């Protein structure tokens, strides 16, 4: 899809393609045009020079413009924007009424169950907390049986605790639905927990598009060089050691041991490994407390700011690349160069609570 | 003790008929105007809003004069009334309705426009993304959300039509059963020194105005408490 034009003094020229599955994050600082792109996709805004094609279906191109109510989308606004004159049930039903049964065909009860809405059904929107309201808004959008779910910073108007309350719902949702989602956010934490594809925007332009992990570990992009750089993994639970509370998770050839509460075997779980939590050693350390030590090869080394170097690593057992953020001094002392075989010491692996 | 004049009731019935018809016509005509005034980006919309609001400040005689010309045999009204075999719309019930609609328009358009503006465009956007056609969105979202505005508009439009005098005098005259509404009837009673009838009707009008304005205030208070 692509949209080009001006809104007041703001110029937008965004053009990108994204897979019609999983979660695509539209990421960028506020005012970069990501919400405008999302609104244009929904047809809430119209750029004369716009093109939007979804799954081979053209929604906008040249003179063709399908009005928003004919597009099979679900839209979650930044503020829940529930209808004040309807109860929670009425709001949910409003979504279910106007739509043909196609796309992600979730039944009313399923959505209520998935989002934990049962105790709220007969309440009025003004008696709900911010987090509850947003959950209802998400349910309402889902019940309109969309074939594409558009979410505009659904968490940014919420306080921290409501955000932590909703994120697991979103994770469960995106994991369970075969529904493509475009998710607008300026918060990298949300991207790392939810997205598979990343579209990075700045000043009305698309800077880079690709699988999240690929962009995260590309030293030519700002993500990898940032202080909080990290890679995300989508690993499957292989075993769980109840005695020590340790789960073994696998992705590709990579096997990681992570302390956590019990997880069902075979469950897919998103992991985050911060670059700052990975150290390097020439020889395998003896008697270390670190659980995850992996042989790996250096792919590249890039300066990241004044004091740090960013090392991109390919674990020898195959699997996703890792990042290590080390000091310039260590880099000098160990005399690291691309191609070196060494040991990656992973001090901690973050696992999103469910 | 002389009895009450037997023709006390027809003016009351006529007034209620006129005000009801006018209110219904106003809601039908005024809503699209209010919608356009609330939504349009046109630079000249405030000029239209001003024209709609002018009856508030114009002397009723000025309005009545123009209406008389427009409704008379030489005007548009004459042409229209020719279809029904009459020479003029002036001094008829239909003419009074047309005059009242124009005269009370600002009192209906303004509250509805305010309600639409307070609502903003978000509810409509939400409805559209939930596959509601513009028409369905209007009936299921806009009308219920703007209900206090419609209520205020209907009450004010009705009450203001009941209270009009100057315009009726100019274009309606005092044809019993056709154009002799309450305010005119009171005027006639005073002219003919029938003080009892005049004071009875006047007292009723004063009571009506009090009840209406009090009810309005209470409605607004309740809406403010419940919130939207």
Q: How far is A44 from chain B (nearest CA, A)?
A: 7
pLDDT of res. A353: 63
Residues of chain A with pLDDT under 50: 102-103
Average pLDDT over residues B192-197: 87
Q: What's the pLDDT tens digit per position in B123-140?
A: 999 999 998 889 999 999
Give the residue from B163, B152, B168, B134 showing the smallest Cα distance to B216: B152
In sign, the C-alpha dihedral spanning A324, A315, A313, A209 is negative
Angle CA B191–B194–B195, to nearest 5? 100
Q: Is B129's CB within 8 Å of A74's CB? A: yes
Band of residue B143 on the pLDDT scale cut at 50, 70, 90: very high
Q: How far is B56 from chain A (nearest CA, A)?
A: 33
Q: How far is A117 from chain B (nearest CA, A)?
A: 19
- Topology annotation, domain A230-351: OB fold (Dihydrolipoamide Acetyltransferase, E2P) (2.40.50)
Q: How far is B105 from chain A (nearest CA, A)?
A: 28
Helix residue ranges, H only, chain B: 9-39, 45-53, 60-71, 76-82, 93-119, 122-129, 134-137, 143-145, 147-162, 166-171, 182-191, 195-226
**SS3 call for A36:** helix
pLDDT of res. B184: 87
DSSP, res A1: -
- Cα gap A19→A25, rounded to integer Å: 12
Q: How far is A79 from chain B (nearest CA, A)?
A: 10
Q: What CA–CA distances, in Å, run from A293 to A62, A247, A249, A289?
A: 56, 16, 14, 10
Give the residue from B7, B228, B15, B2 showing the smallest Cα distance to B123: B228
A103 in B contact zone (CB under 8 Å)? no
Residues in chain B within 8 Å Cβ distance of A72: 131
Q: How far is A140 from chain B (nearest CA, A)?
A: 8
Q: Are strands A230-241 and A246-251 parallel, antiparallel or unpaired?
A: antiparallel
CATH number of the domain within which B120 lies: 1.10.3720.10
pLDDT of res. A99: 52
Residue B228 lies in a domain: no
pLDDT of res. B141: 93
In sign, the C-alpha dihedral spanning B142, B143, B145, B148 is positive
Mutation target among B118, B123, B126 for the A interface, most CBs of A within 10 A: B126
A83 in B contact zone (CB under 8 Å)? yes
pLDDT of res. A18: 77
Q: Phi and psi of B5, rounded to 5°?
A: -60, 135
Q: Phi and psi of A132, rounded to 5°?
A: -65, -40
Residue B10 lies in a domain: no
Band of residue B4 on the pLDDT scale cut at 50, 70, 90: low
The number of C-beta contacts closer than 8 angstroms across A and B is: 65
Instruction: Look up tokens 């439009």; give the residue.
Output: B157
pLDDT of res. B138: 93
Q: What CA–CA distances, in Å, run from B31 to B26, B108, B207?
A: 8, 8, 29
In sign, the C-alpha dihedral spanning B54, B58, B63, B64 is positive
Instruction: Look up tokens 């075999």; give the residue.
Output: B85
Give the residue from A17, A128, A114, A42 showing the smallest Cα distance to A83: A128
Residue B108 lies in a domain: yes
B122 in A contact zone (CB under 8 Å)? yes
Band of residue B150 on the pLDDT scale cut at 50, 70, 90: very high
- Domain encompassing residue B69: 17-223
Q: Is A69's CB within 8 Å of B132's CB? A: yes
Average pLDDT over residues B48-72: 89
Mutation target among B131, B137, B148, B223 for the A interface, most CBs of A within 10 A: B131
Give the residue from A40, A84, A94, A51 showing the smallest Cα distance to B131: A94
- Cα gap A264→A266, rounded to integer Å: 6
Q: Tell me the ipTM for this assembly.
A: 0.81
pTM for the structure as a whole = 0.82
Band of residue B224 on the pLDDT scale cut at 50, 70, 90: low
Q: Is A141's CB within 8 Å of B130's CB? A: yes
Instruction: For chain B, positions 133-152, list CB contacts with chain A under 8 A.
Output: 133-134, 136-137, 140-141, 144-145, 147
pLDDT of res. B49: 93
pLDDT of res. B50: 93
Band of residue B144 on the pLDDT scale cut at 50, 70, 90: very high
Residues in chain A within 8 Å Cβ distance of B134: 69
Q: What percent of chain B has pLDDT over 90?
A: 42
Q: Is A83's CB within 8 Å of B141's CB? A: yes
Nearest CA in chain A to B144: A85
Residue B136 lies in a domain: yes
Instruction: For chain A, positions 136-195, list CB contacts with chain B under 8 A.
Output: 140-141, 144, 150
Residue B1 lies in a domain: no
Higher pLDDT residue, A220 or B47?
A: B47
Give the number of domains in chain B: 1
Band of residue B5 on the pLDDT scale cut at 50, 70, 90: low
Residue B140 lies in a domain: yes
Nearest CA in chain B to A78: B122
- Topology annotation, domain A2-216: Rossmann fold (3.40.50)
């Amino acid at each position: 899809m692509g949209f080009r034009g001006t809104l007041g003094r703001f110029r937008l020229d965004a053009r990108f393609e994204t897979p019609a599955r999983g979660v695509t994050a539209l990421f960028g600082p506020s005012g970069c045009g990501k919400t405008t792109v999302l609104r244009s996709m929904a047809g809430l805004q119209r750029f004369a020079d716009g093109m939007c094609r979804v799954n081979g279906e053209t929604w906008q191109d040249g003179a063709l413009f399908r009005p928003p109510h004919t597009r099979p989308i679900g839209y979650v606004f930044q503020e829940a924007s529930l209808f004040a004159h309807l109860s929670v049930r009425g709001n949910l039903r409003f979504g279910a009424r106007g739509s043909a049964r196609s796309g992600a065909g979730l039944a009313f009860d399923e959505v209520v169950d998935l989002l934990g809405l049962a105790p709220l059904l007969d309440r009025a929107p003004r008696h709900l907390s911010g987090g509850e309201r947003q959950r209802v808004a998400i349910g309402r959008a889902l019940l309109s049986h969309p074939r594409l779910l558009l979410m505009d910073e659904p968490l940014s108007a919420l306080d921290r605790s409501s955000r932590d309350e909703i994120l697991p719902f979103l994770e469960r949702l995106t994991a369970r639905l075969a529904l493509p989602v475009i998710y607008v956010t300026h918060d990298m934490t949300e991207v790392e927990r939810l997205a598979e594809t990343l579209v990075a925007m700045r000043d009305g332009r698309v800077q880079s598009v690709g699988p999240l992990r690929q962009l995260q570990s590309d030293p030519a992009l700002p993500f990898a060089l940032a202080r909080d750089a990290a890679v995300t993994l989508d690993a499957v639970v292989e075993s769980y050691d109840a005695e020590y509370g340790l789960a073994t998770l696998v992705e590709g050839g990579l096997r990681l041991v992570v302390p956590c509460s019990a997880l069902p075997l075979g469950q897919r779980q998103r992991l985050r490994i911060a670059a700052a939590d990975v150290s390097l050693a020439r020889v395998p350390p003896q008697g270390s407390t670190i659980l995850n030590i992996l042989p790996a090869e250096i792919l590249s080394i890039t300066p990241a700011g004044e004091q740090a170097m960013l090392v991109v690593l390919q674990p020898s057992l195959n699997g996703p690349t890792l990042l290590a953020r080390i000091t310039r001094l260590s880099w000098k002392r160990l005399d690291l160069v691309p191609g070196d075989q060494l040991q990656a010491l992973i001090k901690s692996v973050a696992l999103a609570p469910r | 003790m002389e009895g009450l004049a037997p023709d006390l009731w027809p003016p009351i019935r006529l007034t209620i008929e006129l005000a009801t018809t006018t209110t219904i016509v106003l809601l039908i005509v005024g809503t699209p105007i209010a919608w356009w005034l609330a939504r349009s980006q046109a630079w000249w919309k405030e000029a239209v809003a001003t024209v709609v609001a002018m009856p508030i400040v114009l002397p009723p005689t000025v309005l009545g004069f123009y209406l008389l010309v427009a409704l008379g045999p030489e005007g548009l009204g004459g042409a229209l009334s020719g279809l029904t075999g009459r020479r003029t719309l002036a001094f008829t019930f239909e003419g009074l309705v047309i005059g009242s609609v124009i005269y009370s328009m600002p009192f209906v358009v303004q509250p509805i426009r305010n309600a639409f503006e307070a609502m903003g465009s978000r509810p409509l956007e939400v409805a559209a993304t939930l596959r509601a056609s513009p028409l369905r969105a209007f009936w299921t979202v806009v009308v219920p959300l703007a209900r206090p505005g419609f209520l205020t508009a209907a009450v004010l439009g009705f009450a203001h039509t009941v209270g009009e005098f100057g315009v009726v005098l100019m274009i309606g005259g005092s044809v019993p059963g056709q154009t002799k509404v309450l305010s005119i009837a009171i005027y006639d009673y005073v002219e003919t020194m029938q003080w009892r009838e005049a004071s009875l009707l006047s007292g009723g009008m004063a009571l009506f105005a009090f009840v209406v304005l009090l009810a309005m205030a209470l409605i607004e208070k309740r809406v403010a408490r419940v919130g939207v």
